Structure 1
Amino acid sequence: MDQYDVAVVGLGVLGSGAAYYAAKKGAKVIAFEQFELGHVRGASHDTSRIVRTSNFTPEYVKLAKSAYKDWAELEKAADQKLLTITGGVVFFPEEPNTPALASDFTKSLDTNDVPYELLDSTEVKNRWPQFDVPENVSTVYTADTGIAHASRTVSTLQSLARIHGAVLKDQTEVERVIPKASGTGGVMIQTSNGQFQAAKVILATDAWINKLLAPLGTHIPVIVMQEQVTYFKPSEAANFGSDRFPVWIWNGAMCYYGFPCYGEPTIKAARDTSNNFMTPEQRTYVHSPQLLNQLSSFLKRLIPDETRQVLRTVTCQYSITPDRQFVISPLKSHPNIIVGLGAAHAFKFAPAFGRVLAELAVDGRTNEDISKFGIPTSATCSSKL
C-alpha cells in the first residue's frame, strides 16, 4: 500500500487548493472526490464569486489581504486570469432588525489599513445611476472588490496540483478515516476504491464533514441549506458592464448581493442565507419561486429596470458553522487530521485557505492568524459575511 504525506478529502475549491499547495511544497499528495470533478452538488461551481478585503471582522480582513497576494501568484503560476476587479459597494440601511451599521464595518478596515469611501445616497446615484438608494442608507465603497471565476479557479487548482505530482481520484467516496494506533502515526483512509495511508489528512468535505468526524468522536454543528442565485437580462446590458457597475451587497435585515455583467450580458443576484434547510440527501436542486419573487421585488426597488427579464436560477449548497466561523484546525484528539470548513463565505479566501491547510499538514504550523478558527462547539448562526 502506497504511503502518502498528505491526503485531501473533498475537491471543491478549498480541498483543491490544499492539494495544490501541499504538492507545491513537495509533499506526496493524494486527493479524493466522491463525485465527478467540477460537480454541482456543493458550493464551488457556476461562474462567479465575490472577492473583497472588506469584512466586519479584522481577522478576515487580514486573511483576505494575504489571499489577494495568493490570487496574484496563482494567476501567474497558471497563466490564467481568475480575478476581475470592479470595485464594490456595501449598503447599510437604517431599518428595524438591521444587523450592523457602516461604522461597525469600517472599524475592521481601519484596523487593517484598507482604503474605502463612505458615500451617501446622492453620491451613490451620481456615480452609479443604475441604483435607486434610499436616503437612509450609508454606503461603503472599496476599490479592490471584484469577481473570481468560480469553476475556472477550481479546475486551475486541480490542474496545478496534478502538475506538481498530486494524484486526484474522483468518483471515490471516503467512507472512513482511521488514525493508526498511538505511537505509529499516520491515518488509514478507507474509500469505495480501496484503502490508502497518509501521514496527515485534510478534511474539506463541507456539508458531509460529520459523516467522517462521528467515528472520531467529534461533531461540528453545521447548518445546511439550499441557496439560489438568479441571472437577469437587463434592458441595457452596456450599463451593467464590469467597468460601469460594481459588485454590491445589501446588509439589511435580509442580506442580498449582486454582480455586474460577467462573461455574458446578464446580471446575477441572490439573497444570502435564505434558510431553506435540508441535508445533502434531501436536496432537490429545484429553486424556490417564493425566493425568486422576493429577490425580484427587492431588485425593482434597488435597481429599477422595467423590462428586465429573469433568465435562469441556479441552486447551490450552504454549510453554516456557528457565527459563520471558519474552521481551520487539527482535531485535538487526532492532530494528524485537519479540518477545513468555509462556512459559505470562503471562496474569496480560497488560495490562502488552501495554502494554510497545506502548511498545517506539511509544516505543522502557519504564519497566518487562525486563532479564531478552531473547532466550534456551540450552534448559533449569523448572516454577517
Structure 2
Amino acid sequence: MTQDMEQFDVAVVGLGVLGSGAAYYAAQKGAKVIAFEQFELGHVRGASHDTSRIVRTSNFAPEYVALAKSAYKDWAELENVTGYNMLTTTGGVVFFAPESPVPASDFTKSLAAQNVPYETLDAQEVKKRWPQFDIPDNVITVYTPDSGIAHANKTVSTLQSLARSHGAVLKDNTPVHRVTPQKSGGVVIETPKGRFQAKKVILATDAWINKLLAPLSVHIPVSVMQEQVTYYKPTNPSAYETDKLPVWIWQGTHCFYGFPSYGEPTIKAGRDYSNNFMSPEERTFVHSPQLLEQLTSFMDGFMPDKERTPLRTVTCQYTITPDRQFIISPLDSAPDIIVGLGAAHAFKFAPAFGRVLAELAVDGRTDEDISKWGIPKVATMNSKL
C-alpha cells in the first residue's frame, strides 16, 4: 500500500440509507472507516429523504422475505441502541387485482416458506376491518400484521450518527472521481479533497454507479426515473391514524401504495415505477401533473373522500437494476470493490442490507443468502470497448 495516503480498512461511497448503514456496521465491527457523500448529508437528490417508508416482510420471493426478517431484528437492535422508536407497526395489506402481474400466491408461498404469519382476506372482510377502502369483490388481499412504517430521514441520520460514534469519518460535499484497484491489494479513492486508500471499497452510489464503474470496464444497465408521492389532507384525519389504517399496496395494471397519517394529519400515496425516465443531471425536481392526476383519480375510487385535497407532491429518484434485483456483490474483476444497489425497493431492508455490505467488506463473507444478487452477467464489458 502507498504510504503517503491515509489508510482505511473500509471506504464507503454514497451516504444514502444503504451506504450509511454499511458505514455504521463496518465501524461497529471495529474497522477503520471513511465514507464519502458528493452532496450535503440528508440531501434530496437521491432516494433516501422525506418522511415515511413502508417496512414489510411480505414479498414475492422467499429470499427477500428472509432478508426482511433479518432486517426486523436489526431494526430492533437499532431501537435498543438508540432508545428511538425506529418503526411504527400498522399492519399491512397488499391488494391483488385480477390484472396484477404478480399473483397473490407468490406472496403467500414466500411468506409460508419463511414461517411469517399472514391472512388472506376477501373484499368484504377488508371493508369490515377498514371501511376507508372500497375495493371490488374480485380483489384478493394479503394481510401481514408485522408491516409498518420507518421514518426515512431519521433512519439515515441515526445510522450516520452511530457510524461517527464508532469512529467512522464521514465526508460530505466530497464527490469521488475514481476508485482504482491496486495490484498489491486495496483501492485508491480520488476526491477533490485528497486521495485515500482502503482495503475494501463499498459503492452505494445508486444512479451514479456507472461513473465509477466505467474506468473499470464494467457497466450495470440501470434505468433511472423521477418518481413522486403526494400528501393529501383527508376530511377526517382521525380516521386515518396508524391504529386505524394499515400501510397498503395495490397490485394491478399499475402499482400504487400508501400510508396512514404519520407525523402530520395527512395521508401519503404514490405510484411505484412510473417510467418517468431521466438522468440525475436531467432531473427537474418538478412533479408531473399527469402522474398526480392519475394518482388522485385512483385514490378517488379506491379510498373515497370527496373533500380530500392534495397538499404537496415530493419527488425522488428510482434506480432500477435488471429484473429489479438487488445487487450485493464484489466485482469479479476487482473483488476489493463491493457494489450495493437496492433497485428502489431496499429501504425496508436497510439495516440488514448495510450490515451485509459491511460483513462482505470486513469479514469477506455473510450468513445471509445473497446468492441471487450478484453482478448481472450483462454488466461486464469488454475492456477494449
* TM-score interval, smaller chain: over 0.9
Determine if the alignment matches structure 1 residue 189 to structure 2 residue 193.
Answer: no
Distance in 1 separating the partners of 2:173 and 2:359: 27
> What is the deviation of 1:77?
1.1
> What is the deviation of 1:367?
0.3
> What is the deviation of 1:376?
1.2
Distance in 2 separating the partners of 1:62 and 1:145: 14
* Deviation per residue, 1:198-241 (Å, 9 max, x gap): 00000000000000001011111100000000000000000000
Q: Partner residue of 1:37? A: 41
SS state at 1:65 partner: helix
CA contact (8 A) 2:187 2:336 kept: yes
* Deviation per residue, 1:228-272 (Å, 9 max, x gap): 000000000000000000000001110000000000000000000
- Which amino acid is 2:126 matched to? V
Distance in 1 separating the partners of 2:186 and 2:202: 12
SS state at 2:174 partner: coil
CA contact (8 A) 1:223 1:319 kept: yes
1:115 pairs with one of 95, 114, 117 = 117
CA contact (8 A) 1:132 1:301 kept: yes
CA contact (8 A) 2:61 2:106 kept: no
Q: Which aligned pairs between 1:1-385 and structure 2 lie closer than 5 A?
A: 1-95=5-99, 98-181=100-183, 184-378=184-378
CA contact (8 A) 2:14 2:37 kept: yes
Distance in 2 separating the partners of 1:241 and 1:172: 41
Distance in 2 separating the partners of 1:9 and 1:77: 25
> What is the deviation of 1:189?
0.2
SS state at 1:301 partner: helix
- Which amino acid is 1:332 matched to? D
> What is the deviation of 1:128?
0.3
> What is the deviation of 1:8?
0.2
> What is the deviation of 1:75?
1.3
* Deviation per residue, 1:319-356 (Å, 9 max, x gap): 00011100000000100000000000000000000000
Distance in 1 separating the partners of 2:266 and 2:302: 17
> What is the deviation of 1:100?
1.9
* Deviation per residue, 1:113-152 (Å, 9 max, x gap): 1110100000000000000011110100000000000000
> What is the deviation of 1:378?
4.3
> What is the deviation of 1:54?
0.5
TM-score between the two structures when normalised by the length of structure 1: 0.97
Identity %: 76
Distance in 1 separating the partners of 2:251 and 2:107: 10
Q: Partner residue of 2:383? A: none
Distance in 2 separating the partners of 1:36 and 1:79: 26
SS state at 2:177 partner: strand
- Which amino acid is 1:16 matched to? S
> What is the deviation of 1:62?
0.4
CA contact (8 A) 2:95 2:140 kept: yes
Structure 2: runs of 5+ lacking an equivalent: 380-385
TM-score between the two structures when normalised by the length of structure 2: 0.97
- Which amino acid is 1:275 matched to? N
CA contact (8 A) 1:220 1:377 kept: no
Distance in 1 separating the partners of 2:376 and 2:350: 21
* Deviation per residue, 1:66-101 (Å, 9 max, x gap): 000000001111221110000000000113xx2022
Structure 1: runs of 5+ lacking an equivalent: 380-385
Distance in 1 separating the partners of 2:150 and 2:144: 16
Distance in 2 separating the partners of 1:196 and 1:100: 46
Distance in 2 separating the partners of 1:40 and 1:302: 30
SS state at 2:377 partner: coil
**Structure 1 stretches of at least 4 aligned residues deviating more than 3 Å after TM superposition:** none
SS state at 1:284 partner: coil
- Which amino acid is 1:69 matched to? K
CA contact (8 A) 1:322 1:378 kept: no
- Which amino acid is 1:232 matched to? Y
> What is the deviation of 1:377?
3.3
**Matched length:** 375
Distance in 2 separating the partners of 1:285 and 1:93: 32
- Which amino acid is 1:119 matched to? L
Distance in 2 separating the partners of 1:378 and 1:275: 22
Distance in 1 separating the partners of 2:249 and 2:87: 18
- Which amino acid is 1:247 matched to? V
CA contact (8 A) 1:87 1:246 kept: yes
> What is the deviation of 1:287?
0.1
Distance in 2 separating the partners of 1:378 and 1:265: 46
